[in-house]
Amino acid sequence: MNLINARYAFTSAYLKGEEARTIMSDHIEGVVQRSRAMPEAIDVIKETDIGEYLLDVAPNGWSTFDEMDHALGKYLGDCLDRLDRFKLPDDMVTMLAAYIRKYDILNMKTALRGILMETTYPLMPVGELSNQDYLETLTSASTPEELSDTFVKINMIDFAAIINDIKEKDSRSTTEAEFNLDNLFFRKMLDAVENMKDSVILIRALGIIIDLINLRSIVRTLLGTKGLSREMIFDGGNVLTGDTVTELQSLKIGEIAGRLEDTEYYNVAQDIAKNFEKEGNIAVVDRIIEKHKIRLLGDLLSPRALSPCNLLWYLIVKEREIQNVRIMFKTFIDGLPLSEIRDYLVTVS
């Protein structure tokens, strides 16, 4: 075995081991059935990696959502730092660097909203802006131009140009910039994986993510709630691009499944239509899309061995796990029964 394959073998084994220590469906059932408060929930998941972390930093949980969200962001940052300290194969290094830009973009979008609303919002302690201690700079900025300077400092110059184009105190201009930041992120991710091992699979996986974001936006708009405008459809999808998107935007919600019958999104659209008709709740859109996203990506990425697919799948699983904890613990903070949110908790097994 040469050095490159040895690094792949070691890294892949580590990532699979970490996946095995994430919150699984039996943990979720244990929390829902046996927990009435955060300490009890933490006790149920204490054998997982995130459970160990929570037992150490907040064994009694939190009293506010912001405290909880910061701690979970810190945990994610710690997971990414652990990866960064590995001697990862070069293509995994490239992928990780490109992927974590999404958190810099998330923090930038949060800061932009703060400027627009003349307030400040908590930022996530994840990404280069956090690593280089620029989060305080973001929260103290009063103009988009000040924010763009921080992107330049961490070598996100193309993203900085988008911020510079924002019309100050203009909600539509800010929304367009947020879309353009995310769209550029996906383009750069696709470029980053183009020449990697298993590039065809990686590009398809990213295309699934983009397709499902576009589908969610189309469906939410058809149901009369906030979604992206017709011009704000992300590039790089496998199916939901160009004429297909235009056609779907002209259909009724019950007709979308028929149009997607020959695609891997047929069951997604069918489930959305059926459950929305039954429940009449827009929240079913996000719930169902997330469930199918994990299924589709797991089937595609998880079986690969000695591949950058292992890293992308780990990142997706870890983000989903953290979102599950966020949903569960916010439910405790809000004083609601966990049974109300069980269907929104999605695990890989």
- 348 pLDDT tier (thresholds 50, 70, 90): confident
Type of residue numbered 342? R
Question: Is pLDDT above 90 for 349?
Answer: no
- 231 pLDDT tier (thresholds 50, 70, 90): low
Distances (CA, A) of 241 to 207, 208, 312, 334: 10, 12, 23, 39
Question: Is pLDDT above 80 for 2?
Answer: no
- 33 pLDDT tier (thresholds 50, 70, 90): very high
Give residues with Cβ within 8 angstroms of 259, minimum separation 6.
244, 247, 248, 251, 269
What is the per-residue pLDDT across 84-93, written as a single tens digit (0 to 9) for each?
887 889 999 9
What is the per-residue pLDDT across 291-311, written as a single tens digit (0 to 9) for each?
999 999 999 999 998 899 999
What is the per-residue pLDDT across 244-294, written as a single tens digit (0 to 9) for each?
888 888 888 889 999 999 999 999 999 999 998 888 888 899 999 999 999
- Where residue 126 falls (left for φ over 0; alpha for ψ -120 to 50; beta otherwise) is beta
Structure tokens at 73: 């962001």
For the entire predicted model, the pTM comes to: 0.94
Of the chain, the end-to-end C-alpha distance in Å amounts to 32
pLDDT for the residue numbered 3:
53
What is the per-residue pLDDT across 185-224, written as a single tens digit (0 to 9) for each?
999 999 999 999 999 999 999 999 999 999 999 998 888 7
Chain-wide mean pLDDT for the chain? 92
